[in-house]
A = this chain, B = another copy of it.
């Protein structure tokens, strides 16, 4: 919010670059983020970023960490029971991913090792502990829930990038059609055809989160 989108010659540092890459991801959800476009937005040469980040992966990791930090900060201010707070947090992660598709698309690849990521882990572990889990059960539930949230968020972000018309609210058709497949060979798919085509990314996300948390409770 402190920066405008007009090319402005700014003194670079890691924070300014991460601001810029997230803004770019937000404003042009269907375009890949490249060093060239990032440089244009910052009014510097495309290769200037290499003074501040070893490579694109390190920059992307820093941007993802920032998104995680934002989600945690909001989640910690939230009220309610463990499940309510955890669901709200996981939903927020999906929303932030959909708002920054070109960044979030990498989310499932880069391992979460920054301060924001670890704060997210702590939040999830705290809620699951409140739910009464501990030991191996706690770790298993943590793995299921955060693995699902990360992988599914990244998948939705990738869809937003790949499909030109995809909306940012998660209403991306999960199955866009059955093409030339002869559906009469598949009775259940035939019978539930319309319901299957109506599934969108966010519905998958909610269904998965609910199912996993049901099993916790």
Q: CB distance B154 to A192 under 8 Å?
A: no
Stretch at the interface among A21-29, A36-44, A182-190: A182-190
Q: CB distance A119 to B158 under 8 Å?
A: no
Task: Give Cα A125–Cα B7 distance, bound, in whole angstroms.
Answer: 52
Task: Give Cα A207–Cα B138 distance, bound, in whole angstroms.
Answer: 11
Copies in the complex: 2
With beta carbons under 8 angstroms apart, the residue of B122, B148, B173, B187 that contacts A111 is B173
Chain B neighbourhood of A144, CB < 8 A? 204, 207-208, 210-211
Q: Which of A170-217 contact B (CB under 8 A)?
A: 173-179, 181-183, 186-189, 192, 195-196, 199, 203-205, 207-208, 210-212, 214-216
Q: Does A113 contact B (CB under 8 A)?
A: yes
Q: CB distance B204 to A215 under 8 Å?
A: no
Interface centre among A119, A143, A205, A214, by most chain B C-beta atoms within 10 angstroms, is A143
Task: Return A85 CB to nearest CB of chain B, in Å.
Answer: 15
With beta carbons under 8 angstroms apart, the residue of B129, B145, B181, B215 that contacts A188 is B129
Interface centre among A122, A151, A195, A211, by most chain B C-beta atoms within 10 angstroms, is A151
Given A112-B175, A114-B179, does the pair A147, B208 have CB atoms closer than 8 Å?
A: yes
Task: Give Cα A72–Cα B8 distance, bound, in whole angstroms.
Answer: 55
Please report the total number of A residues contacting B with Cβ < 8 Å. Answer: 63
A interface residue numbers (CB < 8 A to B)? 108-115, 118-119, 121-122, 125-126, 129, 136, 138-145, 147-148, 150-152, 154-155, 158-159, 162, 173-179, 181-183, 186-189, 192, 195-196, 199, 203-205, 207-208, 210-212, 214-216
New A-B contacts (10) at CB < 8 Å, excluding given A143-B174, A211-B211: A109-B155, A115-B182, A121-B189, A129-B188, A138-B192, A139-B195, A147-B152, A147-B174, A151-B152, A208-B208
Please, could you name 20 A-B residue pairs with CB atoms under 8 Å apart, sorted by A?
A108-B108, A108-B158, A110-B162, A111-B174, A111-B176, A113-B176, A121-B175, A121-B186, A125-B192, A126-B188, A139-B192, A139-B195, A143-B203, A143-B208, A144-B204, A144-B210, A144-B211, A148-B151, A148-B152, A148-B208
